[in-house]
Amino acid sequence: MEERGILIVVSGFSGAGKGTIMKRLLEKYGSDYALSISATTRDPRPGERNGREYFFRSVEEFEKMIAEEELIEYARYVENYYGTPRSYVEEKLAEGKDVILEIEIQGALKVKEKFPDTLLLFVTPPSTEELRNRLTGRGTETEEVIESRMRRASEEAKFMDRYDYLIINDVLENCVEEMHQIIRGEHRRSYRNTDFIEYMKKELKGE
Ligand code: 5GP
C-alpha cells in the first residue's frame, strides 16, 4: 500500500537536545524521514552553511517569499524571521517520507491549524534542574543568557499541552527509539488508513 508521509513538527526548550535527537534519528532511520531546511534572516553561526542548516536570506528576500506564498508558515523569533519552504515539504510527503519540521511553538501551532493531521512532538529534559544543567553545560553562555532562556522556557511550557506527545530526553538512544515508535504508531491510526479500511470492507462483503 502506497502511503503518504506524515508531517511532523518537533519543538522543545532550548537546551532540550532536539538537534542531537534529530541527528541520531536520521542516522538510524534516514530512509524514512526528510528534515525540512528552513529559511531565516538571522546571520549564519560559525560552521553553518547556506542550504545545510538554513537558507540564509535577507529581510527583502524573506518578505518576497512570504508575498509569493512560498512558505507553509513563518514566525518572528528573537528579532529574526524563520519560515518553512513549501515545495520541499510537499514533494517529500508525496514520496511517502515523513517530513520533520524543527520549529518553534508559534510556527508549530500555525502548521497544526493549517494541516490538522500534523503530529506535534515536544522535546523536554526530564526536569527543570536538568534543563538548567544542559544550558550551563554548553559552557558558552553567560548567566544572563541562561536566565533569559529559563524564562523563555517558562513561557513555552504554557503550550506543552497543545502537543500530541512529549518526548522526554533522558537517555538519547531510548528517546530516539521512542520517537521513532511513536511515529510508526501514528501511521497505524485508523483515520490515516481510510483507503485500507474501505478495501477490507469491500473484500469482506465479497465485492
Ligand atoms: P536558531 O536560531 O537557534 O537556529 O533557531 C531559533 C528557533 O527557531 C528554534 O526554536 C528553531 O526550532 C526555530 N525555527 C527554525 N526554523 C524555523 C521555521 O522555519 N519556522 C519557525 N516557526 N521556527 C523555526
User: Whose CA is closest to 83, among 39, 53, 42, 49?
Assistant: 39
13-17, 32-36, 60-64: which range is least confident on average? 13-17
Helix-strand-coil split of the chain, %, nearest 5: 45, 20, 30
| pLDDT score for 135 | 83
Residue nearest to atom 24 of ligand 1 (CA): 103
pLDDT of residue 149: 85
For 110-143, write each residue's pLDDT tens digit. Answer: 999 999 999 999 999 999 999 998 888 767 778 8
CA 75 – ligand 1 centroid, Å: 8
Ligand 1, atom 18: closest residue by C-alpha: 83
| pLDDT for residue 1 | 53
Residue in 17, 36, 42 with CA at minimum distance from that of residue 176? 17
Q: Is the CB of 42 under 6 A from ligand 1?
A: yes
What would the mean pLDDT of 155-184 be, rounded to a whole number?
Answer: 97
Task: Using the atom order of ligand 1, give the atom closest to the CA of residue 14.
Answer: 10
| Closest atom of ligand 1 relative to the 42 alpha carbon | 2
pLDDT tens, position by position, 175-200? 999 999 999 999 999 999 999 999 99
Mean pLDDT calculated for residue range 17-39: 96
pLDDT digit string, tens, across residues 60-104:
999 999 999 999 999 998 889 999 999 999 999 999 999 999 999
CA torsion angle 94 99 104 108 (round to 10): 50
DSSP 38: E
pTM value is 0.93
Closest-lying ligand 1 atom to the alpha carbon of residue 10: 12
So what's the pLDDT on residue 14? Answer: 84
Q: Are strands 80-85 and 98-102 parallel, antiparallel or unpaired?
A: unpaired
Using a 6 Å cutoff on CB, does residue 169 contact ligand 1? no
Residue whose C-alpha cell reads 465485492 in the numeric block:
207
Ligand 1, atom 10: closest residue by C-alpha: 104
Evaluate: CB of 103 within 6 angstroms of ligand 1: yes
